[in-house]
């Protein structure tokens, strides 16, 4: 049976925390692929100074290039916002009726998981997998991938706004897009 990981997020920008944990998920769960699905507008967070959907998608595609176990899907950007995981999963289930789906979610989002739109339906379609974010052992109802990487998109945006380096936090291809498009500069 095909095993597919789904990684939703704003990816504003995608960073090495996302990428390393997705690799870890592939190895731990023996996934065939992880599909990164950038959200149009996150129903879970308020946006500050942020990049356009198009720029975020461009950065995701650039970051995944050359990794055969990674893929991206722009379906949430093609639907009117807000982006709900259940809509995405119903589409993917139709496409892959026999696959087993694993939905990757960072530890910071787990407490609110049950408030997600049509959570009960979503929970029937996917196995949630928690990604370590604190490095502290927590008790969860779902399997946890333990690998603590203290990298966040908020910190990356702030660093760019302050003129600090983001080298090694994001792939060079993503860093190039951020600087060429002048993203995250203070307005």
Six token digits for residue 33: 């692929």
- Burial pattern 108-124, b for ≥16 Cβ within 10 A else e, equals ebbeebeebeeeeebbe
Residue nearest ligand ATP, Cβ-based: 106
Tell me: does residue 108 bind ligand ATP (CB under 6 A).
yes
Minimum distance, C-beta of residue 12 to ligand ATP, in the bound complex (Å)? 6
Give the H/E segment covering residue 149. Answer: none
Minimum distance, C-beta of residue 153 to ligand ATP, in the bound complex (Å)? 3
Residue of 3, 10, 28 whose CA lies nearest to 153: 10
Residues between 117 and 136 that touch ligand ATP (CB under 6 A): 131, 133
Tell me: does residue 149 bind ligand ATP (CB under 6 A).
yes
Residue 2: half-sphere exposure toward Cβ, Cα within 13 Å: 14
Tell me: does residue 34 bind ligand ATP (CB under 6 A).
no
Single residue of 53, 105, 166, 169 touching ligand ATP by CB under 6 A = 105
Residues between 36 and 65 that touch ligand ATP (CB under 6 A): 45
| Integer CA distances (angstroms), 145 to 3, 88, 104, 105, 127, in order | 16, 23, 9, 10, 13
The binding site for ligand ATP (CB under 6 A) comprises: 9-12, 17-18, 21, 45, 105-106, 108-109, 131, 133, 149, 151-154
């Amino acid at each position: 049976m095909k095993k597919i990981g789904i990684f939703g997020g704003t990816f504003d920008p995608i960073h090495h925390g996302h990428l390393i944990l997705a690799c870890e998920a592939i190895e731990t769960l023996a996934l065939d692929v992880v599909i990164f699905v950038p959200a149009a507008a996150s129903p879970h967070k308020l946006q500050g100074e942020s990049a356009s959907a198009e720029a975020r998608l461009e950065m995701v595609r650039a970051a995944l290039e050359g990794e055969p176990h990674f893929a991206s899907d722009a379906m949430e950007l093609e639907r009117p916002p807000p982006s709900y995981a259940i809509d995405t999963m119903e589409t993917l289930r139709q496409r892959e009726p026999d696959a087993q789906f694993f939905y990757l979610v960072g530890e910071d989002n787990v407490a609110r998981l049950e408030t997600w739109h049509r959570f009960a339906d979503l929970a029937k379609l996917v196995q949630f997998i928690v990604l370590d974010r604190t490095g502290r052992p927590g008790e969860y109802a779902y399997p946890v991938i333990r690998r603590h990487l203290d990298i966040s998109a908020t910190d990356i945006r702030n660093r760019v706004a302050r003129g600090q380096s983001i080298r090694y936090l994001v792939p060079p291809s993503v860093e190039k897009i951020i600087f060429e498009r002048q993203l995250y500069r203070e307005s």
